Amino acid sequence: MYKFEPILKTLVWGTESWVLSSVPGSESVVSEGPEAGKTLSEVYGGEFPLLIKFIDARKDLSIQVHPGDELAGKRHGGHGKDEMWYIIGASEGAHLYSGLAKPLTPEEYARRVEDGTIIDVLGDHVVAPGDVFFIPSGRIHSICGGCYLAEIQQTSDITYRIYDYNRPGLDGKPRQLHTELAKDAIDYTVADDYRTHYERRENEPVELLKCEHFTTTLFELSAPLSCPAPGGGRWLTVACASGSGTVNGAALRAGQALLLTPDENHLDLVPTAQDFRLLTSYC
């Protein structure tokens, strides 16, 4: 089992805490134990396939999209980015954008970016704690101000920024846009429902999402729980969304993450504060 030092990033819209990352230049480092100081890639034996962040959006993020594996590999020699969001906290009226609310052609997309009306055709969703959204590659999206969430994604830092409200970056200069690159990456279809629905249950595992690249399970705990680890026999990430407690004897609090090795195929979870919520993910 490994615990890592969070990597805090300050951005024009708020902050990100990267709690598990093997992205070059932003690698998680083991914080304690006999292997303290080693990077995630060193203890895993290569690039770890998942990146986990906590995002505190005080202002709206840019409208953006991520390329899929094929396009990202062809253009950048990297991975695409499927990701999911678990809403931990939301101010009154907080919302986010996910997907298209009406059919769109590539030509109309370009026009709407140019005239600043791209937001008018996006799916606009008011959010509350516990909401889940899956953002597959190709889906236009944006987290908006007032949202605090956990993000689980493929290990990739490839983002096409489509529209950024004509605001300057932290350096006072306009941030780079990738409007033309995004045109071929966008999925222009309209989905019936952009939310991921699940049944909330206390003190037992609840699978939130199973996609091609990862499976994520939620534990909402008010009492100790002992159970098989999801994806038993695989590397398992454990991110604490709220509260505090212990995971197989290791202390964990909100905003921290652990990585369990494949031989740790059982979970002993003990809350030490109310609302102990954990998100586990494996590939």
- Is the pLDDT confidence value at 86 over 90? yes
Whole-angstrom distance, CA of residue 141 vs CA of residue 244: 31
Q: Determine contact, residues 95/124, Cβ cutoff 8 Å.
A: yes
pTM of the shown model: 0.96
Tell me the C-alpha distance between 87 and 119, whole Å.
21
Q: Does the fold of domain 206-282 match that of domain 2-196?
A: yes
**CA-CA distance, 123 to 135, in Å (whole number)?**
12
Active site residue 58: no
pLDDT band at residue 170 under the 50/70/90 scheme? confident
206-282 CATH fold? Jelly Rolls (2.60.120)
The DSSP H or E segment spanning 282 is: strand 276-282
Out of 161, 175, 195, 234, the active site residue is: 161
Domain map (residue ranges) of the chain: 2-196, 206-282
Helix (H, G, I), strand (E, B) or coil at 269: strand
Q: How many whole angstroms separate alpha carbon 59 and alpha carbon 61?
A: 6
pLDDT tens profile 92-147: 999 999 999 999 999 999 999 999 999 999 999 999 999 999 999 999 999 999 99
Q: Which CATH number fits domain 2-196: 3.40.630.10, 3.40.1360.10, 2.60.120.10, 3.40.50.300?
A: 2.60.120.10
Q: Cβ(148)–Cβ(54) under 8 Å?
A: yes
pLDDT of residue 175: 87
pLDDT band at 232 (very low <50, low <70, confident <90, very high): confident
Burial of 64: CB neighbours in 10 Å, binned 0-12, 13-18, 19+? buried
- Confidence at residue 67, expressed as pLDDT on a 0 to 100 scale: 96
pLDDT for the residue numbered 166: 85
Q: Is the pLDDT of residue 169 over 90?
A: no
Q: Are 153 and 54 in contact (CB under 8 A)?
A: no
- Are 53 and 17 spatial neighbours (Cβ–Cβ below 8 Å)? yes
Closest by Cα among 238, 242, 244 to 205? 238
